[in-house]
Structure 1
Amino acid sequence: MAQPIYPRQAGLSYTWLILSFCAIAAAAWSFKAGTVLENEELDAQRQQAEAEALVMLDLPDFAAEPTVQAKKDAFFGFLEPLAEAENARVARLRDEVEQWRADLDSGRALSAETLERLEVITARYYVSDDLATSDQIDELLIKVDTIPMSLILAQAANESAWGTSRFALVGNNLFGQWCFSVGCGVVPDSRPEGEVYEVRAFEHAGLSVRAYILNLNRHRSYADLRALRAERRAQGQAVTGLDLTPGLLAYSIRREEYVDELNAMIEFNDLLDLD
């Protein structure tokens, strides 16, 4: 398989801009702390500062790129570090949930603080509060997990026309996500009469990435995707975008045709190398 097509040319400049901004944010956070921290704690705070900084970047003008390949490079180069940062956030949360599982397996009771934290996370990930604590944690271990980079990039490119769609330009929405309250987003020109949905608007593109990953991880429509991912995890196998696309039938009314299109985009653009 050929090497990934990015980041390079214009995409490389976007990547370095993002990483430079992250470094500045991390340095500012460390200065604000005012004390010398242990390496692990400092690293965790640096990563958090990077993730928060990334969501503040504006969407570039990808249509201004001189060639189709340059547009692809710029789009992937901009999006990949945003996706990496959000996946890193999810991975850190998963580590936390795994520690809760290990504590229970070892017979250690969870602290009151941990139980409060668990309540917040279960609500965020649509886990029933009627379940026993142990069952809640088991369900979180299915839901709180990363999304393969190849899938993120392919879906974003597909849903946003490589960052040039109306919904991307007006609402920073790279994944076609809907919302259902008046004024929450952009009204599609083709919306049928009587429908109330809008295409959700985000303040920054990184927030679109965050909402997309959370949506796949908690919405009932993507339970099959999560089951496929959990099965691969249980078998000790890597999880790729091609492994999970069959769980996205509900993402588009085109269903199998949509999944086939995503698979073709992943393969044509050599995105599996990133998984």
Structure 2
Amino acid sequence: MPGGPDEWLETVKKCQYLPEPDIKKLCEMVKELLMEESNIQPVNSPVTVCGDIHGQFYDLLELFRVGGEVPNTAYIFMGDFVDRGYYSLETFTLLLVLKARYPDKITLLRGNHESRQITQVYGFYDLMWSDPEDIDTWAVSPRGAGWLFGSKVTSEFNHVNSLKLIARAHQLVQEGYKYHFQDENLVTVWSAPNYCYRCGNVASIMAVDESLEITESSFKIFNAVPDTERVVPPRQSTPYFL
């Protein structure tokens, strides 16, 4: 439809802005979709789970090349779409357009970079900032928000909720993904390669098939795209005398 998701998709895949009226229309469309979703949203397998993107638009395109394009592949993005990288707006717009065009093929979760104030008010602020650590229960987080949580509380949570594995993001992992604790019942998935364009890490996505069995082959590893395949925006300098 004119001025709709199909037309927008062609624009945003070129790392171009949508006109402001179209952005407003897109936000309204996605807001209506998200209002219909549950706080605990069921998702059918097969599905591919993705970690932080952090505004690295061209590496998000690489993620789709490695994992498969929507709608041929369904995705869960675990938040932290913005900040750090050069293209926060373009990255988030692409994900919103995909949600508007293929609502059943992409699930967008909020990370701590998607509005600290809102998560604090609505009770998700510990949750969004918390990290696993080699302890039994809880400890104060060095981040200054949230908590460090250990193996015992993770095992108890999984047992009470009949879970085998928790997938989460939020922490840089040089190898792209990392299992935690002796039981390997929690895994960090990190999907921003060469984070901040200087960390040198690889990224990963986790493909979950119909059996729900996660093996080493479930993780697809990818590198940052070469500099020749990305555009670096000009640095914005503020004049010394205004």
The TM-score, its normalising length taken from structure 2, stands at 0.28
Tell which structure's C-alpha radius of gyration is larger. 1
The TM-score, its normalising length taken from structure 1, stands at 0.26
Higher strand proportion (structure 1 or 2): 2
